[in-house]
């Protein structure tokens, strides 16, 4: 067994030993809201939004983008589980700002190994084979944080599956201070 697996299983055993009343948590989130945010390991929505288990839905993907799947999850959160407000939260210093569709397509075309980045940009360090499939994916990269929040809130709002009555708010989490900054014009 690998070290990471051992660590995860040990942590889970400790967590499960004190699980207690968490078995009684209801499926709908108690505080009736959902957060769409980035998968970046530096972001802990439970801490920056004051959550405990059972409070809210947290949907995470690379960049916290309003992809079809993220919207699908938000709609389920509302339609079936009763959330009444949504937050789109991007963050400073996001890895999605460091590449574009062409760069990712080129990297995957060279190999499937992990790439590296330095002052000159991204570099593939592996040996092929790669795949051309990466050239057909919209990676939803970010050029401007505020604009990406505005775009994502707008995309969610325009979905015919999203009721006009649900408040959608847009923020940028500052990785340097831990603060949420409201994006002007993103809250509708």
Asked whether residue 88 falls in the same domain as residue 105, the answer is: no
Asked whether residue 38 falls in the same domain as residue 78, the answer is: yes
Mean pLDDT over all residues of the chain?
96
Asked whether residue 87 falls in the same domain as residue 147, the answer is: yes
This prediction has a pTM of 0.94
Percent of the chain with pLDDT over 90: 96
Alpha-carbon distance of 122 to 144, in angstroms, equals 19
Does residue 188 have a pLDDT over 70? Answer: no
Q: What mean pLDDT do residues 92-114 have?
A: 97
Asked whether residue 125 falls in the same domain as residue 150, the answer is: no
Q: What mean pLDDT do residues 154-167 have?
A: 97
Question: Which pLDDT score is estimated for 110?
Answer: 95
Number of domains observed in the structure of the chain: 2
Name the nearest CA neighbour of 182 among 153, 142, 156, 155: 153
Strand order in the sheet with 57-61: 57-61, 33-38, 85-91, 168-173, 180-182
CA angle 90, 181, 81 (to 5 degrees): 60
Q: What mean pLDDT do residues 131-137 have?
A: 97
Question: And the tokens for 161?
Answer: 């599956």
Report how far apart, in Å, the C-alpha atoms of 49 and of each of 53, 57, 89, 105, 164 are: 12, 12, 11, 35, 24
Q: Which of 93-107, 117-131, 148-162 has the lowest mean pLDDT?
A: 117-131
Asked whether residue 119 falls in the same domain as residue 186, the answer is: no
Name the nearest CA neighbour of 133 among 100, 96, 107, 97: 107
Q: Is residue 2 part of a domain?
A: no
Asked whether residue 111 falls in the same domain as residue 84, the answer is: no
pLDDT (tens digit per residue) in 72-93: 999 999 999 999 999 999 999 9
Q: What is the span of the domain harbouring residue 120?
A: 100-138
Question: Which pLDDT score is estimated for 92?
Answer: 98
Q: Is residue 4 part of a domain?
A: no
Q: Is residue 51 part of a domain?
A: yes
Question: And the tokens for 117?
Answer: 């980045």
Asked whether residue 68 falls in the same domain as residue 50, the answer is: yes
What's the start-to-end Cα distance of the chain, in Å?
A: 49
* Residue 1 confidence class, pLDDT cut points 50, 70, 90: confident
Q: Is residue 16 part of a domain?
A: no
Asked whether residue 122 falls in the same domain as residue 172, the answer is: no
pLDDT (tens digit per residue) in 43-62: 999 999 999 999 999 999 99
């Amino acid at each position: 067994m690998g070290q990471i697996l051992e660590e995860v299983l040990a942590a889970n055993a400790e967590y499960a030993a004190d699980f207690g009343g968490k078995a009684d948590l209801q499926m709908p989130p108690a505080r009736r809201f959902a957060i769409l945010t980035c998968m970046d390991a530096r972001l802990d929505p439970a801490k920056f939004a004051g959550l405990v288990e059972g409070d809210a839905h947290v949907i995470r993907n690379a960049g916290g983008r309003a992809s079809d799947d993220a919207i699908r999850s938000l709609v389920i959160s509302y339609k079936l589980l009763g959330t009444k407000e949504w937050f789109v939260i991007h963050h400073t210093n996001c890895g999605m700002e460091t590449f574009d569709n062409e760069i990712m397509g080129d990297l995957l075309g060279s190999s499937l190994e992990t790439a590296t980045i330095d002052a000159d940009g991204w570099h593939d360090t592996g040996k092929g084979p790669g795949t051309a499939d990466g050239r057909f994916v919209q990676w939803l990269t970010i050029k401007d944080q505020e604009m990406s929040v505005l775009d994502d809130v707008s995309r969610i709002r325009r979905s015919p599956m999203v009721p006009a009555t649900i408040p959608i708010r847009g923020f940028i989490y500052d990785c340097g201070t831990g603060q949420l900054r409201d994006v002007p014009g993103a809250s509708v």
